[in-house]
Amino acid sequence: MGNHDARDNIAETNGPPRLHIGQGDAGFATAAATIVALGISLVVAAVVAVCVSDLRAANAQASQVAVEAALNGGQLRAEAALLAAPMAARYAWSIDAPAGSLRIWAEPEASKLSIAGAAALDGPALALFGVTDMASLKARLEALASADASEGLQLAALDSAPAWRQCARSAISPYGGARTFAIPKPTRPAAGPFNTRAGEVWRILVTSADGWTDERLVRFTGDRYDPWGVIERRFYRGGRGVDQCETVLGAG
């Protein structure tokens, strides 16, 4: 009997801790044990919530990386197409990609109105963009005309009108050389002889079906082994409205 009690004591000492429910507790855990259990459950719930949040963020980041890669591929294909296309005022076309259909717009900056020319636009021309405070916009354009070209890339932010934000850069450019305001309908590029387009600056937008856009200003170098360089790049949600710019602005 004594030996049996000793073995029980050893097992009790060496074994895992046990929650004892005494006879006076009528088979229920004590208040202290309930609080401990509740605390553990709250910690577990918090850890699970953090893990779920991290998983969602990782999935979103992976999805964005995939979209950026697809749009980057579209940009490379667009730039290559321009090297084999004749000069045109504006191009627009669609291509198939593993991530789905991509829409491309390509605009030569030299054919657009200069910023100084835009500052001299009359009221009806600015009204096409939905601008209401024309005097303020003209003042901002005049200030921008005296800045360097990199500042001119902020052109779309000069007014809050949706048509201005979406279409101003299709008609006006810090690299523009046109004397009049016009935004022609785009055509699809056709294959032709290799053209280095040395020195030309183009605005290229590649947009996915769900609205993600990779927008770049590209300068062609004339070097067959390094044919273009990126002046500016923006990645954002939106951009499909560019397809309507020639209609909104009354292009011919």
Other Cβ atoms closer than 10 A to 143: 13
How far apart CA 222 and CA 200 sit, in angstroms, is 9
79-107, pLDDT tens digit by residue? 999 998 887 779 999 999 887 899 999 99
Count of domains observed in the chain: 1
Residue 192 lies in a domain: yes
What 3-state DSSP class applies to 32?
Answer: helix
pLDDT at 23: 52
Residue 31 lies in a domain: no
Other Cβ atoms closer than 10 A to 214: 25
Residue 11 pLDDT level (bands cut at 50, 70, 90): very low
Please state the pTM of the whole predicted model.
0.73
What DSSP state is assigned to residue 114? Answer: P
Residue 207 lies in a domain: yes
The domain of 162 spans 61-248
What 3-state DSSP class applies to 180?
Answer: coil
Residue 56 lies in a domain: no
Residue 74 lies in a domain: yes
Alpha-helix runs per DSSP H in the chain:
2-14, 31-82, 115-119, 123-127, 134-145, 149-152, 162-171, 245-248
Residue 195 lies in a domain: yes
**180-203: b (≥16 Cβ within 10 Å) or e:** ebebeebeebeeeeeeebeebbbb
33-82, pLDDT tens digit by residue? 777 777 787 777 777 767 666 666 555 555 667 788 889 999 999 999 99
Residue 42 lies in a domain: no
Q: 95 — phi, psi (to 5°)?
A: -135, 155
Residue 84 lies in a domain: yes
**61-98: b (≥16 Cβ within 10 Å) or e:** eeeeeebeebbebbbeebbebbbebeebbbbbeeeebe
What 3-state DSSP class applies to 106?
Answer: strand
144-168, pLDDT tens digit by residue? 988 877 777 789 999 999 999 999 9
Other Cβ atoms closer than 10 A to 122: 9
What 3-state DSSP class applies to 95?
Answer: strand
Structure tokens at 182: 């016009």
